[in-house]
Amino acid sequence: MERKQLQTIRRDLHQIPELGFQEHKTHAYLMQFINSLPQQHIKVETWKTGIFVKLEGTEGEKTIGYRADIDGLPIKEETGLPFSSTIEGNMHACGHDFHMTIALGALKSLTERRPKHNVLFIFQPAEEGPGGALPMLQTDTMKKWRPDTVFALHIAPELPVGTVSSKEGLLFANTSELFIDFHGKGGHAAYPHKTKDMVVAASQFVVDIQQIIARMIDPLDSAVITVGKMEGGFVQNVIAEHARLEGTIRTLTPEAMTFIKEKIEKYIEAIELRYDCQGTVDYGSNYYQVYNDRTYVDQFSSTLSNVGVRFVEAPTAMTGEDFGYMLKEIPGFMFWLGVNSDFGLHNGRLNPKEEALEVGVKVVTEMIHQLTVHD
């Protein structure tokens, strides 16, 4: 596919960022493109706003899966681009417009020169939340067309165009959202002894849980608890009856995630006793670690020399990706694609270089042609 067509598709998709499981315009756009391709070797099935596209290979003994996420973020775009988001308050600030465009470009290329293996393109909704990978894995379509291996990419603003990055083993962390509410008794600021102050209780809790990381996690392991938002009360001279904390947990092992959640619940119980209040916790969306299969990463790095793309070793990151659920069930890998943006992921000024679209299509297409699927 020519650069201009890839650019047009990306800009069209960039203008319609939709939140998880609300990607109706995006779904329609993708379906229109898929239906415009020669259909004799293609089968299509949908699930909610997601799409499965199976391309029959010339031999078809194995199936290679390729995942592209399709949702946007509730972030106001500040790029000033002529093709900025037309949906107020939403933006493709994580590069999913790039991910979809590259998948469509690869699909078109593979219909023109079919690979040996079958290919299952998975256009997945709700990666940013509440999570679409796990329920897609559980669909009848996925069970029927289950791939033998699966891979995906994510744009990397800090890497130059023409560079990709990955590593064997752990690439992304286990992550969990964190929502905690404390309920006490409000009252006049002049009579604190008649109240149960939830601003104080919540503040104490935030300080207390830092001990989990500092004193309960093996220093050779890594974990993070961040409380990024705290709300309590509604006016300066009334003691708060309710306080809410919102944050995230990130760990390098599933065991550490379980341990931290158990300790958080113990600390909530301690606050309840100390401040005579009630606490509740909700872990929201949880993402399993992205763990790359060594054999496929080795094949990937050696294949890149065929397309003139530079490979660099990636560090493990505390970012989360629900693609990890697919890799938990199916061997494969994920890689970073350099897009050379001055602003990073989830930033309202993210502006990836569109030259990376051609690189992405070339890498994905060549990998599908060259991949040796192991048992």
Return the structure tokens found at 76: 């106001």
- Is residue 312 domain-shared with residue 364, that is, in the same domain? yes
Q: Give 185-243 pLDDT, tens digit per residue.
A: 999 999 999 999 999 999 999 999 999 999 999 998 999 999 999 999 999 999 999 99
Whether the CA torsion 88, 343, 339, 296 is positive or negative: it is negative
Q: How far is Cα 208 from Cα 38, in angstroms, rounded to an integer?
A: 60
Residue 128 annotated in active site: yes
Pair (158, 184) in one structural domain:
no
Q: Considering the domain boundaries, does residue 362 fall inside one?
A: yes
Residue 127 lies in a domain: yes
47 and 34: one domain?
A: yes
Residue 375: the pLDDT is 78
Task: Give me 194's structure tokens.
Answer: 């008649």
Closest CA relative to residue 358, chosen from 112, 162, 159, 83: 162
- Domain at 281, CATH number: 3.30.70.360
**240 belongs to a structural domain:** yes
How far apart are the C-alpha atoms of 17 and 128, rounded to whole Å? 12
Separation CA 39–CA 108 (nearest Å): 11
From 235, 253, 286, the end of a domain falls on 286
Residue 305: its pLDDT value, please? Answer: 84
Specify whether 160 is located in the same domain as 202.
no
CATH for 35: 3.40.630.10
Q: Which of 69, 77, 241, 358 is catalytic?
A: 69
Q: Please indicate, yes or no, whether residues 181 and 78 belong to a single structural domain of this protein.
A: no
Alpha carbons 129 and 124: distance in angstroms, whole number? 11
Residue 160 covered by a domain: yes
d(C-alpha 208, C-alpha 203), whole Å: 9
φ/ψ of 26, rounded to 5, equals -60, -45
Task: Report whether the peptide linkage leading into residue 147 is cis, meaning its omega lies within 30 degrees of zero.
Answer: no
Number of domains in the chain: 2
> Do 226 and 100 lie in a common domain?
no
User: Contact, 183 vs 207, CB < 8 A?
Assistant: no
**pLDDT computed for residue 374 by the predictor:** 87
Are 217 and 99 within one domain?
Answer: no
Domain extent at residue 215: 174-286
Residues in the chain with pLDDT < 70?
Answer: none
21 in any annotated domain:
yes
What is the reported pLDDT for 293? 98
Residues 166 and 315 in one domain: yes
What was the pLDDT predicted at 341? 98
Residue 125 inside a domain? The answer is yes
C-alpha dihedral sign at 182, 183, 187, 192: negative
Choose one of 286, 306, 321: the last residue of a domain: 286
Same domain, 198 and 104: no
The answer to whether residue 11 sits within a structural domain is: yes
Do 158 and 230 have their domain in common? no
Q: Are residues 212 and 331 in the same domain?
A: no
Residue 52 and residue 120: Cα distance in Å, rounded? Answer: 7
| Domain edge (last residue) among 253, 286, 319 | 286
- Both 246 and 294 in a single domain? no
127, 128, 241, 358: which one is catalytic? 128
Identify whether the C-beta of residue 279 lies closer than 8 Å to the C-beta of residue 272: yes
Residue 364, pLDDT score:
98
Mark whether 78 is an active-site residue: no
- Tell me if 375 is assigned to some domain: no
Looking at beta carbons, which pairs linking 227-235 to residues 24 or more positions away fall under 8 Å? 227/178, 230/202, 230/203, 230/206, 232/198, 232/199, 232/202, 233/186, 233/198, 233/199
